[in-house]
Amino acid sequence: MKIPTKNFTKEDCRDMSETLMTVLDTMHEPLHVKRFLFDVLTENELFMISRRLLIASMLTHGVSHDDISSTLKVGYGNIARIQKLLTNGSRSLPIAVAAMNVSAEAKAEKYAKMQPVAPGSLEWFKRMYPLHFLLVPTFRK
């Protein structure tokens, strides 16, 4: 059952938010934070937060509001709100977007280093079954 926030005072809402922030701050392992968020938030809530980060990232890369709206299926009000946060001094959102971009670049770099190999080749088997090749010596030419 959804309880409207208007039933609480602003101080109560702020205290609840501070409790969440304290819990997240005390978790030092990213895996623990990830598990906690997956346990506490619904799939829809995670999706909404992720989509806001994507909107911010797309705005910082100069994507138009129309393209963002059609790609992510969001309204112009949501895009304008994120744009306002980016331009009017949100300190944390640009940091989060930068971290997201660095993470994406690291993943792209990791996959770019991997050379494609033919399925069934010796190199393919080494990638698929690395422990097998630790136990069984391979003969090189």
- Chain centre to alpha carbon of residue 30: 12
- The Cα 51–Cα 72 span in angstroms is 7
Question: 5-114, which class in CATH?
Answer: mainly alpha
CA-atom Rg of the chain in angstroms:
22
With beta carbons less than 8 A apart as the criterion, state whether 92 and 49 touch. no
Per-residue pLDDT of the chain (141 residues; tens, 9 = 90+): 566 677 788 888 888 889 988 998 898 888 898 899 999 999 999 999 989 999 998 998 899 999 999 998 999 999 999 999 888 877 888 888 888 888 877 777 777 677 777 888 888 888 788 777 666 665 655
H or E element: which one contains 44? helix 43-60
Domain boundaries, the chain: 5-114
Phi and psi at residue 138, in whole multiples of 5°? Answer: -105, 145
Q: 59: how many CB neighbours lie within 10 A of its CB?
A: 20
Instruction: Give the tens place of pLDDT for each residue, 10-49.
Output: 888 888 889 988 998 898 888 898 899 999 999 999 999 9
At 77, which amino acid appears?
G
pTM: 0.66
H or E element: which one contains 132? helix 130-135
